[in-house]
Structure 1
Amino acid sequence: MPSMEYHVVPVRYNSQCITFPEWISIFTICLAPLIAHIASGAPPISYLAQSPRPKWYDLICHYNPTSILWRYAVITDRRIRARDWNRDDLGASNAIFWTSKGWKGGEEMSVVAAPYCSRCPEDTHTQLNSVAMLKTVITTLQGGAAAYSLIGSLLGLTNVGFITLMGLDMIFYPLAILGLLRLCAAAWLTEDFAYGMLHEFGDRTPMRDFQVPKLDEVTIPGTDSSGGPLLVAPPTRLNLRFTPPGSSWSSRIFRSGFLLLCGAIWFLALIFMAPGVVNGWRGEVFFTATSLVVAIFYLYFFTITLVLLAWYFIRGETTSTIIPCISQAWYRIYTLVVMGLTVVMIIFACIETNKGPNGLYTSVRLPLKTRCYDWRQQ
């Protein structure tokens, strides 16, 4: 029977020859995809309640790449289902609202939160000269370069060995690929908005003049005991501005396509962890500690992300730009595990990374000894 053998090289200190300026350069390349993905995908919180403020474990969930992917997908899905798309819809869809009742990101927020908007987008779509468009360009370029390197190494088109020869500079390449999924929502991502309680702006920034809808159209926001707006879901007639997810074929096609793309990325992670999937489970696979931790991390992350997206997409629960399970204890634990594994990846990569004769960084100890290596061993 065909068999595949796995070999894991014990952790070795290989980075003794890397100088301080080189470390700065390596960390810049390493962290660029992570910083760009988080900075472009998690907007500032819009507080519509004086108290209580969210705890730290509530806030970090928005920086989870799963939450960011969800936001891209739902903003696009909402625009597809919109019968009447205006500037309030664009601003509210991009904002993350914290209220006295917790996180809010539903379709009703475009009306309910409008009286608390001090700056509204100038148009109903992203402007070409905006910061949001610049972030899209950056994440797209990073994602394209990472996809070329990773897929090329899989098909033998490049000389970059993603698993065995991977160094610190490449550990976030798979995360950079997710930047390509931002393209689906690129036309409706903006940072040109501001929401908040009246006392937060004072006399310097008056609230936007807003005509409150009639009583038979939407419940007028009031205040609750915490001093925040009383966010009451509007009547069903207001929801007619958006076609329900289960009734829109355009939405179904988009959700299916987005899931297929996420499934393709998950399959890449599976191949790098278990190459026997495509080669008939023959041969040998060598991992360094760095490459093994990286493979486990991305297979874990992409699997949970794909399962969550499939669960909510199939059920048609895509009316909120905030992932529905964000306040669940297990999702907070999942987020902490993702962050913990990220730190572990960086630590292992820092220990094992060295520079090969071809100028590429690798986590494998090469048989060639340099003058630096010989000097450090004395």
Structure 2
Amino acid sequence: MAHAAERLVEVWRGDFCESVHHGHVAVWHADSGLIWGLGDVDGVILPRSSSKMIQALPLIESGAADAHGLTQEQLAISCASHQGAAVHTDLVTRWLADLNLSEADLRCGVQWPSDEAARDGMICAHCGPDQRHNNCSGKHSGFLTLTKHLKAGPEYVDPDHPVQQAVRAAWEDVTDETTPGYGIDGCSAPNFASSLKGFARAMAMYAAAVEGADARQTAMVRLRNAMMAHPHLVAGEGRSCTKLMRVMGNRAAIKTGAEAVFAAIIPERRIGIALKIADGTTRASEAAITQILGALGVIDPADPVALSYTTGPIRNWRKLETGRYRVTPALGDWRP
């Protein structure tokens, strides 16, 4: 029987609880299995961009990454939802050139950058974005690298394409589930579904992976290390993934996804986390993941960056404090 979503995060304005966010949490230990859950951990989710490190597994396991001499920075941006700053688009541009390909070979679609400097520069120059500015262009550059390595056709986002079949095989293997299907993501690639606990299990596999143990574990280590070493490439300035990973150093790799999914890989604890906020609100997923990371000891709950997500304050346009966030006892009282 499915469990109802748990009340996790509240938004208060003065003495009034103005909004409430419910959700689901799964914390998986590589040796012990599910060590904590809230809501419906068996419920099926679309992980959206929080699964990019799994979508990048075939890039390494196939030999494509090494055959094309990919750097750690390229591996990091292959797992990214970047904001289209110059540091992101310049890297993608060089990557495509190394493949003897161009922006036209991408299939992610045109998106305005969320980076203010990049966006404002385009507006002032009376020009617009292209597919390199899409937040998923790094992932798609990885798909193109694998496509070239496999000598496959150009429509690499087709669910029946060898690239997506390799992604599906990897997804089912690391979640230990047969996927019930997929949705088409904002970048046009298939996004495979699993249970929340299956996704947490996969993140725990990344956490426990040991370089040199086998090809899969080595690939997992390379991807998680790339994310931790280059948090500015995984998201960008002002974004929660970047800010939180910087504070944690090399202690955790985290990744947000659309519709308020968040995943975390914690090597020192051999733990993976997956959570989903039922109403799709990002502020709640950021509060929840930060609270859990604090409970696991990989971020100081009193750090100003952590507090900005778990408590606020919320300010208006005059910079006056108008409200706060509160994590509920169901979420806030947990200790491993």
Tell me the TM-score normalised to structure 2 length: 0.24
Tell me the TM-score normalised to structure 1 length: 0.22
> Which one has a bigger Cα radius of gyration?
1
Give the helix-richer structure, 1 or 2.
Answer: 1
Give the strand-richer structure, 1 or 2.
Answer: 2
Query: 1 or 2 for the larger relative contact order (CA 8 Å, sep ≥6)?
Result: 1
